[in-house]
Amino acid sequence: MDIWFSRPDLERLNNPPMQHMGVFLGIRFTQVDGDALHAIMPVNERTRQPMGILHGGASVVLAETVGSVASHYVVDPATHVAVGMEINANHLRPVREGFVTAICRPVHLGKSSHVWDIRLMDDQQRPVCISRLTVAIVEKTRIS
C-alpha cells in the first residue's frame, strides 16, 4: 500500500534549504517504503545528556521530525499543511554511542488528523523508544 501524495525525495530531505533542529542534531532520512519513512540520528555530543546517554528530548525530536515530514508528503502541499498536535514517548533503553534508527508508520490517516507510530532502535535493532505523534491537517487558507 502506497500512502504518499508525493513520494518523499531523500536527496531533498537530506539537503534542506535552511537550518533547523533536525539538521543540527544530524538527522538523515534513509529509506522510503510504501507505508513507512526511515531516518537515523547519531548519538553524540549534540544528542547525549550529561550522564552520557541519549537524551530523551533528542529521541522525541527525531520522532516528531520523521512523523511531521511523513504527514507533509501524505497531503497535497498546495492546499494543506501538517502541524504537530501531540507527541508522547516511552524511553525503553539507554544508548551511549552509534545511531538510533526511526521507522515511522501510520496508525490513522484522516482528512483532519494523522496519527503515527514511530519506533526507535539502536544499532543492534533493540527498541530504544516508542512514540506516537498526532498531526493536525489544516487547510492553507486557515494559516496566516
Instruction: Determine whether 119 is exposed, middle or buried from the number of CB atoms within 10 Å of its CB (0-12, 13-18, 19+).
Output: middle
Instruction: Name the burial class of residue 8, with classes exposed (0-12), middle (13-18) and buried (19+) by CB atoms within 10 angstroms of its CB.
Output: middle
Marked catalytic residue, from 11, 64, 97, 139: 64
Does residue 64 have an active-site annotation?
A: yes
Burial of 27 (0-12, 13-18, 19+ CB in 10 A): buried
Nearest Cα neighbor of 62 from 114, 117, 118, 126 is 118
Q: Would you please indicate which residues are annotated as catalytic (active-site) residues?
A: 64
